[in-house]
A and B are shown apart, each in its own frame.
Chain A
């Protein structure tokens, strides 16, 4: 499941285990440097490059995972 893999990446890069799929990236303490790390992790681990503007438009694990899914179909 893409959602689980995205959630794992978020929890690791935000250094928080209590993140849920509907949490807003910025509300749980995300900022630009962490976003770049997540962008990098998506490339390395999911083999997909997500534009940062898309990450802003999809600021939850659930929505960015759905966006990544949509790229595969």
Chain B
């Protein structure tokens, strides 16, 4: 245990750039140590942290202890799932996505303490080409625990789905220190009821409501569906139900051909037509959007190859395929669609290998990074200013309307903003860059106004970053008072004293006796 002194100040913050407070911080290295901390915590609240890359302040403490899992960073085993024809990697919660990417690329693991069967599986993996873990949030220094907590996704989630789809098993320490193992396909919720046995042999059962989900990509509140796998409740629960200490994640064979194309289009209407056509005619794994404001920002700040001034909007499309011939065909069709929508095959950037793809990915990642740099500069002049980033998704039929709405309101309020992101999933981020505290306050009001509009058309207030502490009011807007109280009841089953991650998801910490 460490008291929060000067040395640990950084742990009071996360990538949302908000700051909290805590009394002490723990860096456990085993699930047993996590259990010990919880047993000793009593009624003191515990905020869980991974790599603190979240954008919704989920890891920002509101008093009590911090349980930081960054030292649980071992990859502990590997197995081959014969039936499904895929590998499953066992990783501790603090393992970073970048670490997973690296070991899979190099096929080189720290196998100390691995079992014999894990070693055998590794031999098989090395003989069977390249494998990958599909979720690809922009921030590769995210931890697996954090990705599970907010059901993270990225550009490729358009095809591969979010983190939830790639988690096979979880080890979870509950708030009373008991440990459960949740396995997909085994631990089911049937007719609203679940039954699990803890490691100490205690039976834990309860009734779960089922809440309607918006028919869009979603990371807002608990996943509650009829006849679901119990594991899916814990994925995306933002640390409020238990502490994920270990996860079994699925690996897929890396496609033989991966190409990316950035297409420049003369106006936003033409870009939207292009997106609709690509979605209906081709099978890409990612479709990303850069509005003219984002392009102007990149032109000014990022190192990139020249692009024509007259091109207004850009769309990035990525394909994964079995061979070069098929993928080239898709890219040629993409060119034809671009021309039909007012674009020009010459005004495209095509990446056909890993190194070139990295360039296009860097160009995509430069948008939020440039925004952050600008905001950090402005914060030095007025510390009340922060970035306002929206994370909403709408149903496909509403995509054009929501883009128009964003544009109209940004202009009416005379705000500086960029609009970019996962347009394939109708999920585009608006980042408002306040130039003054007035801009900041105007932006905050606008953000809530958009949340209402998005909810009204069947969308979600958070599609990938999670609710954390920053979108609590919006979650309420989305699922209403009754939805919130149903979710609260679910939390009470697993965390009756309300000590885990207070402030996440719910308006105020749920305390014992309430």
Partners in one complex: no
**Residues of A in contact with B (beta carbons under 8 Å apart):** none
**Residues of B in contact with A (beta carbons under 8 Å apart):** none
